[in-house]
């Protein structure tokens, strides 16, 4: 419902998708960063996934509508299937995707702040993501004037009229000013590099093209692609880290291409405030740097059967091929393939049709 200001002539418009979108935030610390986002986030429901020590109390600023889950909650709700949710890694955020009941998800890291455009105006990142998701994508034919559905743009001469309707957009991938999302080797050779280039563009990633998906400024259509947005097994007890969003990105792109959905990248920008330690990152990424040279060709050559018509079907089929082909690279991938199946089983249990048993509630829900 729209909020009415003191003057009856001043009415604030209802935020876009207010009752259809959850904001998912993984964290190990107090969420003071929300104060800067208050004008944009306060109307929405937050799902906070607390990583690390579940006995630690996470403080959330007053006035936000949220539910908070820690590791004890995850274990209680999923039981043995909780093994598919990473521990001591931001990959735990995907639990929030699973328990949400909304149509759309926006996820952001707690070291990301409001950026400003070249005119000095604060960027409402969430609003731009929503605009991206609510307008079509053009994965089957590249438009050289970027997103043809934005104000002031259109399809260029030579663009097939039969493809101008576009396809539904499943994923909106945003970017970062200040600290770029670099891997450890690049961090080490460019320790002082900062991104100050604001490019006012949104692109559809072409069909058949993979991309490195970053989870710190990301929105997606949960009902379309949610079951494939699994951030893998990372962190504590695993031989790899910092590839959680990459893995999800490779999986969702293959499945979006197969099912005919679109993926956009570009606007909106957020301000990424701090660089993580490159030496710590190198330890986490070490295996991934080698393994991605096998994993990426695998995803580039994956073919999903025509009878895979749901995201769940596609994801289970993908898990079989991961086990068969990447399992030869390292036993970790066989374990990951099993976790992919467990994830789908847990997703389907928590997202059963109406009339199913009531699901567990969160810890520390605040209204």
Nearest alpha-carbon partner for 235 in 22, 25, 79, 28: 28
Q: What is the pLDDT of residue 8?
A: 38
pLDDT reading at 364 higher than 60: no
Is the pTM of the predicted complex or chain greater than 0.75? yes
CATH code for the part of the protein at 21-351? 3.90.550
Please report, for the chain, the start and end positions of each structural domain, with discontinuous segments joined by +. Answer: 21-351
Tokens of 219: 């929105």
Provide the pLDDT confidence category of residue 3 given band limits of 50, 70 and 90. very low
Burial class (CB in 10 A: 0-12, 13-18, 19+), 174: buried
CB-CB contact of 237 with 89 (8 Å): no
Mean predicted lDDT score pLDDT of the chain:
94
pLDDT digits (tens, 9 = 90+) for 65-90: 999 999 999 999 999 999 999 999 99
pLDDT reading at 328 higher than 90: yes
Q: What is the pLDDT of residue 362?
A: 59
Contacts of 258 by beta carbon, 8 Å cutoff, 6+ apart: 304, 308, 314
Q: What is the pLDDT of residue 244?
A: 98
Residue count of the chain: 367
pLDDT digits (tens, 9 = 90+) for 276-316: 999 999 999 999 999 999 999 999 999 999 999 999 999 99
pLDDT digits (tens, 9 = 90+) for 13-61: 789 999 999 999 999 999 999 999 999 999 999 999 999 999 999 999 9
Q: What is the pLDDT of residue 7?
A: 37
Distance CA 315, CA 84 (A): 14
Distance CA 39, CA 23 (A): 14
Distance CA 185, CA 89 (A): 20
Distance CA 114, CA 122 (A): 6
Provide the pLDDT confidence category of residue 9 given band limits of 50, 70 and 90. very low
pLDDT digits (tens, 9 = 90+) for 350-360: 998 876 554 44
pLDDT reading at 5 higher than 70: no
> With b meaning 16 or more CB within 10 Å and e meaning fewer, what string describes 335-363?
bbbbbbebbbebbebbbeeeeeeeeeebb
Q: What is the pLDDT of residue 292?
A: 98
pLDDT digits (tens, 9 = 90+) for 225-257: 999 999 999 999 999 999 999 999 999 999 999
- Compute the average pLDDT of residues 119-144: 98
Q: What is the pLDDT of residue 353?
A: 83
Q: What is the pLDDT of residue 355?
A: 63
Q: What is the pLDDT of residue 366?
A: 45
Distance CA 213, CA 96 (A): 18
Q: What is the pLDDT of residue 354?
A: 72
Q: What is the pLDDT of residue 14?
A: 83
Q: What is the pLDDT of residue 19?
A: 97
């Amino acid at each position: 419902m729209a909020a009415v200001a003191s003057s009856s002539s001043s009415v604030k418009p209802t935020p876009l998708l207010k009752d259809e979108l959850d904001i998912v935030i993984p964290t190990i610390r107090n969420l003071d960063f929300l104060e800067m986002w208050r004008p944009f986030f306060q109307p929405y429901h937050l799902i906070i996934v607390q990583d690390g020590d579940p006995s630690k109390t996470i403080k959330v600023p007053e006035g936000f509508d949220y539910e908070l889950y820690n590791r004890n909650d995850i274990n209680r709700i999923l039981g043995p299937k909780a093994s598919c949710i990473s521990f001591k890694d931001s990959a735990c955020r995907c639990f929030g995707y699973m328990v949400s009941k909304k149509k759309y998800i926006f996820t952001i890291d707690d070291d990301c702040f409001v950026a400003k455009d070249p005119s000095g105006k604060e960027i409402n990142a969430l609003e731009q993501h929503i605009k991206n998701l609510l307008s079509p994508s053009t994965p089957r034919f590249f438009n050289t004037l970027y997103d043809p559905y934005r104000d002031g743009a259109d399809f260029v001469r030579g663009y097939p009229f039969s493809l101008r309707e576009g396809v539904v957009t499943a994923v909106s991938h945003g970017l970062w000013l200040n600290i770029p999302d670099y891997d450890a080797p690049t961090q080490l050779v460019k320790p002082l590099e900062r991104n100050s280039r604001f490019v006012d563009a949104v692109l559809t990633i072409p069909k058949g093209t993979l991309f490195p998906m970053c989870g710190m400024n990301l929105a997606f259509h949960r009902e379309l692609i949610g079951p494939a947005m699994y951030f893998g097994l990372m962190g504590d007890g695993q031989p790899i880290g910092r590839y959680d969003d990459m893995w999800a990105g490779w999986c969702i792109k293959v499945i979006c291409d197969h099912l005919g959905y679109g993926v956009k990248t570009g606007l909106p920008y957020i301000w990424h405030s701090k660089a993580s330690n490159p030496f710590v990152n190198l330890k986490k990424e070490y295996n991934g740097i080698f393994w991605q040279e096998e994993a990426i060709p695998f995803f580039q050559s994956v073919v999903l059967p025509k009878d895979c018509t749901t995201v769940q079907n596609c994801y289970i089929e993908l898990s079989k091929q991961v086990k068969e082909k990447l399992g030869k690279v390292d036993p970790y991938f066989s374990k990951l393939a099993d976790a992919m199946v467990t994830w789908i089983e847990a997703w389907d249990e928590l997202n059963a049709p109406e009339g199913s048993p009531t699901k567990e509630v969160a810890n520390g829900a605040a209204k």
